[in-house]
Amino acid sequence: PLAGIHAGLQAAGEGFHLVAACDQPLLTGQLARFLLERAWQSQRAGQGPVDALVIRSGERVEVLPAVLHHRCARTAEQLLARMVRPSLRDLLGALRRVCVDAGELEPMGKPELLLWNVNRPEDVAVALRHLGAALLRHGAPAHPGSFFWLAYWQGVPVFGLPSCGLYAEGTLADLLLPRVLAGEVITLADLAALGHGGLLRPEMAFRFPPYGLTAEADAPHGESPDALRAPGR
């Protein structure tokens, strides 16, 4: 993560920038503006340069969301060169930072929701409900894609795709995305129909196209085609 933040700060240019986690779906624009404005106010208060602004919940300092100044990129670069796997907490520990108490976020919503990390599958439905979206289905009778979920927010489809889909030549998303892009509304019956014939499993090679033959033909001389397969295949 720190390498990505370093690259982002370099590309963003001068000034303060908000950094948030991708699994914080309830973070609002109002909160983002509040944090950025507070960082600029702290800078102008004449207490010396401010590198970062973070949120403090009791004795705990929340790592994200945070506001970082562009000059933090230099410190991040030094940590990346000196340490094997530096964390964002390592970066924050090396910066001149100010804290905002989580209680100050109350006018914008419950702090525990605004800062909530959605990490578990069961958290998805709760997060979608707080966003005003309706979860159509979490899980589908198809593989790869059995952990796929689909919700609708104000008529707009919202997909959740499992990370294992990155390593498959075709997933459930490949079947549904063209239909959604064509304006079709996916129903529970559509998802149930995807299970017709049962789940295909990797060991049922006779039911798949001859991917193995293709891999063998493409493999360098003397190398097993299994070595070319990505994890999770």
pLDDT tens digits for 40-57?
Answer: 999 988 767 899 999 999
pLDDT at 47: 67
CA separation for the pair 60, 46 (Å, rounded): 26
Of the candidates 138, 134, 142, 50, the one whose C-alpha atom is nearest the C-alpha of residue 99 is 50
24: left (phi over 0), alpha (psi -120 to 50) or beta: beta
pLDDT tens digits for 42-98?
Answer: 998 876 789 999 999 999 999 999 999 999 999 999 999 999 999 999 999 999 999
* Low pLDDT (below 70) residues in the chain: 47, 197-233
Bridge partners (DSSP) of residue 157 are 152
Residue percentage of the chain with pLDDT more than 90: 56
Domains, the chain, ranges and CATH?
2-114 (3.90.550.10), 121-200 (no CATH)
3-state secondary structure of 35: helix
pLDDT at 232: 45
CB atoms within 10 A of CB 215: 16
Global pTM?
0.69
Q: Can you count the helices (H) and strands (E) in the chain?
A: 9, 7
- DSSP-derived secondary structure for 135-197: EEEE--S-SS-TT-EEEEETTEEEEE--GGGGG-SS-HHHHHHHHHHTTPPP-HHHHHHTTTT
CA separation for the pair 69, 13 (Å, rounded): 9
Crossing angle of the two packed helices 72-82 and 2-12, in degrees rounded to 10: 150
pLDDT at 120: 83
